[in-house]
Amino acid sequence: MDKEKNFYKMLEIEEDANEKEIKIAYKRLAKKYHPDVNKDEGAAEKFKEISEAASVLGDDEKRAQYDNYGSTYEDITGTGFDFRDFGFDFGGFGESIFDFGDIFDRFFGTGFGFGRREKRKRRGSDLRYDLEITLEEAASGTKKTISIPKLEKCSVCNGTGAESDSDIVTCPECGGSGIQKRTQRTPFGIISTSTTCRKCGGQGRYIKNECRECDGTGVVRIKKNIEIKIPAGAEEGTNLRITGEGEAGQKGAEPGDLYVILHIEEHDVFEIKGDDIYVKVTIPFTLATLGGEIEVPTLEGKAKLKIPAGTQNNTVFRMRNKGLPHLHGSGSGSELVEVVVKVPTKLTKKQKDLLKDFEKESKRKGFFKKVF
């Protein structure tokens, strides 16, 4: 077929391709060349070309004219192709690139050979809740009950927005297509445009009598108590997703999700260092010198820690498996204990004399040799 614009070649299909094959070809190529996905030079122009080809081949009448007379699309319609004629703009494609089937149906609407697809109902919004927990709760895990205001599906009408099922009827304005068409004869030819039906909002259905409980919205605002399970080892900023506990969707559409962000309260004793916890303890200089054993606080109570003789100030000891449980694995972190050697500020005469004797003995033994 020798045409100025070979629409079949553009869509990479045979001339006897059926409607399903045309639709599949368009969806595949649209996903490849859509300018929100493909930033290569020429991708936007390629996307316009394949959309133009599909708009002709997807309509039985235009396809017949194209096949019979070998005309370009401009010859058939009397005007050039423009996405805006169909309510499109590259700047408004952000949410649609993940569903090219929805783009295709929105682009072609009813009467272009592929039938009508009802406008997709909007999913409910996600919600966020910031929850503070203690360090002990983060370590052991716990359950919390939170109360959140949210939109919930109306229990009276089951989210339909109608007083009864019989009150949901086919929209009289668009005949159930969800689209209103307008055809104009101009000096340049006949131009047809399609817009979303204002009466039904593109749903194709119209409610005669609205539900009194929700005023036809299908949702009501409530305050709901939700139990949250906090896993052992939860960290600052841990994000818990509770599926289906967000806002209710539009007229029966699926609800959004609830995201609970955990924040660990500042602790009086411990600092958090990843899966480890850190604490400072003070010991007398005699214990640091002679060695011994002390009790230190842990998340599970008191525990004994051995101090070797000659321990220096600011020495850090590691107590394994006394920290926070690993959130994504087995085992636990450690407790890091920094010892601060306390030097007495007031001494008795006897203590001073003993220390002087200790100093003399140390000098004699060369303990305090000058190192600088």
Q: Which residue ranges form the domains of the chain, and what is each CATH number?
A: 7-108 (1.10.287.110), 121-164+212-266 (2.60.260.20), 165-208 (2.10.230.10), 271-364 (2.60.260.20)
Phi, psi of 46 (to 5 degrees): -65, -40
Element (H, E) at 240: strand 239-242
Report pLDDT for 367.
Answer: 56
User: Of 230, 327, 338, which Cα lies nearest the Cα of 275?
Assistant: 327
pLDDT in tens, 279-307: 999 999 899 999 999 999 999 999 999 99
Report pLDDT for 296.
Answer: 96
Res. 89: pLDDT tops 50 = no
Report pLDDT for 310.
Answer: 92
Q: What is the pTM of this model?
A: 0.57
Cα torsion at 176, 177, 180, 186 (round to 10°)?
-130
Report pLDDT for 366.
Answer: 63
Contact 177, 225 (CB under 8 A): no
Report pLDDT for 368.
Answer: 52
Give the pairing type, strands 335-342 and 276-284. parallel
Res. 81: pLDDT tops 60 = no
Report pLDDT for 47.
Answer: 85
DSSP helix, strand, coil percent of the chain (3-state; round to 5): 30, 30, 45
Averaged pLDDT for residues 43-52: 86
269, 292, 313, 318 from 335: Cα distances, Å: 12, 19, 18, 6
Res. 348: pLDDT tops 70 = yes
Averaged pLDDT for residues 11-37: 84
Contact 225, 146 (CB under 8 A): yes
Contact 129, 185 (CB under 8 A): no
Report pLDDT for 139.
Answer: 94
Averaged pLDDT for residues 341-370: 79
Q: Which residue has the higher pLDDT, 320 or 346?
A: 320
Q: Which residue has the higher pLDDT, 50 or 73?
A: 50
pLDDT in tens, 357-372: 888 877 776 655 554 4
Report pLDDT for 339.
Answer: 96
Res. 4: pLDDT tops 50 = yes
Counting DSSP H helices and E strands in the chain, the numbers are: 9, 15
pLDDT in tens, 257-285: 999 999 999 999 999 998 999 999 999 98
- Percent of the chain at pLDDT exceeding 90: 41
pLDDT in tens, 100-127: 444 555 454 444 444 444 456 688 899 9
Tokens describing residue 262: 């955990």
Averaged pLDDT for residues 237-259: 91
